[in-house]
């Protein structure tokens, strides 16, 4: 799509937003219902697109893309009426007789930049928030998942007026053209490098942003844990979508007393999930493209591969891989992996693990496995992360009652559930004064008013 077409799309959305139609609560509710119907009607097409782009099994496609969006819509439909109501606020006595309200209002035209790893969830879940809050929206799916991008465009364009919701397909150049135009809100799910570009573009118009980024998500395994359950939950959270998830476990920090037994349990869980040869498993995904395949393959030459390690470029296959003997300085420990490689770093004392985490930028997620409540509390007290789990992985991300987002280098802003509505809403503060009487204290000449003012305030 060329620049003039993009300008026209945004212009038309501004005209539509100015009509005030999107602010009507019944309109928003109907659009959310329409979006839900469109997703459900295209379930099989979504399965096919995700299989083509990422070799996702329908179970992962439904659980990781469809169900989360439908749950977000259902939650919004249930609570939208109360979210959208103006909220009363306390009014200082000095402003009596007055009443204060906080009125949530939409920003206008929202730009949503989606990623390739969960192309439906991570594009449509923010859209549900934008619609709930009463915005128009332009969606830019990732070109790295072409089948999903085409299907997203088809779904939105067939069910919605492009003056209200529109999909703009294209490469990084298209994204740059969209960012060059003035949007009223920008929502990105992507990497830190793209996040910096978005912030630079947003600075031109001082456009507010939400950046859902990522980072190296640590997982601490204490000696006092249920090793079989721990391994199973780590393997599931790590190798879901072949590790291509912003909340996947990035590396393990394991108490050396249980490392050997944990490695055995990890291997057993991988075999249980994907069989003796994961390349033949219908349940195991593939790397998105050759560039990411080459990047990940280049991380296999340090440490000791204790599980997996097999690769096949033609099918973009990298086996579920566990790498022992890793040091914090190895290449696999420098940047977010975003793939099916799991480095293992052992520690002698919990303080060592916490210190290693705190030397790095704040991660998007942090996980700890331990039966010991003191260990659990200490880890979360002495570290910082966007979110996390105790004795599990990943499951905090799709929970509608938990705001999801990063901190520091792992992101700016939150969404899911009410947090999505709040993200795409401006809270407008208004005081309404009456004419019953007029206190003259605030007006000149001030004379000896200062003493009385101090008593009142």
Catalytic one of 60, 212, 336, 346: 212
Q: What is the DSSP string of 56-71?
A: --HHHHIIIIIHHHHH
Range(s) of the chain covered by CATH 3.40.605.10: 3-213+413-430
Cβ proximity of 217 and 249 under 8 Å = yes
Mean pLDDT of the region 218-243: 98
Known catalytic residue: 8?
no
Residue 418 has pLDDT above 90, yes or no: yes
CATH topology of domain 218-390: Aldehyde Dehydrogenase; Chain A, domain 2 (3.40.309)
Give the Cα separation of 435 and 13 in Å (integer).
Answer: 40
Give the Cα separation of 125 and 116 in Å (integer).
Answer: 14
pLDDT tens, position by position, 349-364: 999 999 999 999 999 9
Give the Cα separation of 214 and 338 in Å (integer).
Answer: 9
Residues whose CB falls within 8 Å of the CB of residue 385, separated by 6 or more in sequence, listed in order: 217, 362, 363, 364, 365, 366, 407, 410
pLDDT of residue 325: 93
> What CATH number matches the domain at 3-213+413-430, 3.20.20.540, 3.90.650.10, 1.10.10.10, 3.40.605.10?
3.40.605.10
Supply the mean pLDDT for the chain. Answer: 96
Residue 457 has pLDDT above 80, yes or no: no
pLDDT of residue 92: 85
Give the Cα separation of 187 and 178 in Å (integer).
Answer: 12
pLDDT of residue 1: 63
Query: In angstroms, what CA-CA distances link 114 with 267, 286, 450?
Result: 34, 19, 56
Mean pLDDT of the region 407-425: 97
Cβ proximity of 350 and 222 under 8 Å = yes
Range(s) of the chain covered by CATH 3.40.309.10: 218-390
List, in sequence order, every residue forming a beta bridge with 81; answer none if it has no partner: none
Residue 428 has pLDDT above 70, yes or no: yes
Known catalytic residue: 212?
yes
Catalytic one of 136, 246, 336, 389: 246
pLDDT tens, position by position, 295-330: 999 999 889 999 999 999 999 999 999 999 999 999
């Amino acid at each position: 799509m060329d620049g003039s077409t993009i300008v026209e799309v945004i212009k038309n959305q501004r005209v539509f937003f100015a009509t005030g139609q999107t602010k009507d609560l019944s309109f928003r509710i109907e659009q959310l219902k329409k979006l839900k119907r469109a997703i459900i009607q295209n379930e099989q097409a979504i399965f096919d697109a995700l299989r083509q782009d990422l070799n996702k099994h329908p179970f992962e496609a439904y659980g990781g893309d469809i169900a989360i969006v439908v749950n977000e819509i259902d939650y919004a439909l249930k609570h939208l009426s109360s979210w959208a109501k103006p909220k009363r606020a306390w009014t200082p006595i000095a402003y009596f007789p007055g009443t204060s309200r906080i009125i949530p209002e939409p920003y206008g035209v929202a730009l949503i930049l989606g990623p390739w790893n969960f192309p439906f969830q991570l594009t449509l879940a923010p859209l549900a928030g934008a619609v709930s809050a009463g915005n128009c929206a332009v969606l830019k799916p990732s070109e790295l998942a072409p089948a999903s991008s085409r299907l997203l465009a088809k779904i939105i364009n067939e069910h919605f007026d492009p003056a209200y919701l529109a999909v703009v397909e294209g490469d990084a150049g298209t994204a740059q053209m969209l960012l060059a135009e003035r949007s009223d809100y920008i929502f990105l799910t992507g990497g830190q490098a793209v996040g910096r570009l978005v912030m630079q573009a947003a600075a031109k118009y001082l456009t507010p942003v939400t950046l859902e980024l990522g980072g190296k998500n640590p997982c601490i395994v204490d000696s006092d844990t249920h090793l079989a359950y721990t391994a199973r939950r780590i393997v599931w959270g790590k190798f879901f979508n072949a590790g291509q998830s912003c909340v996947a476990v990035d590396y393990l920090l394991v108490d050396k007393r249980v490392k050997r037994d944990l490695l055995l349990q990890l291997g057993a869980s991988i075999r249980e999930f994907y069989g003796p040869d994961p390349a033949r498993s219908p349940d195991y995904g593939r790397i998105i493209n050759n560039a990411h395949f080459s990047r990940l393959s280049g991380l296999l030459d340090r440490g000791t591969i204790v599980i997996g390690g097999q690769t096949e470029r033609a099918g973009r296959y990298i086996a579920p891989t566990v790498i022992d003997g890793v040091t914090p300085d190895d290449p696999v420990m420098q940047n977010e992996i975003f793939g099916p490689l799991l480095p293992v770093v052992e520690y002698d004392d919990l303080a060592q693990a916490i210190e290693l985490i705190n030397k790095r930028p704040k991660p998007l997620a942090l996980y700890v496995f331990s039966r010991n409540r003191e260990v659990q509390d200490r880890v979360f007290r002495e570290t910082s992360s966007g979110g996390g789990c105790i004795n599990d992985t990943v499951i905090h991300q799709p929970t509608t009652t938990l705001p999801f987002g990063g901190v520091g280098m792992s992101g700016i802003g939150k969404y899911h559930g009410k947090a999505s509505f709040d993200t795409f809403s401006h809270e407008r503060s208004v005081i309404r004064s009456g004419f019953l009487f007029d206190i003259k204290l605030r007006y000149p000449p001030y004379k000896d008013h200062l003493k009385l003012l101090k008593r009142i305030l």
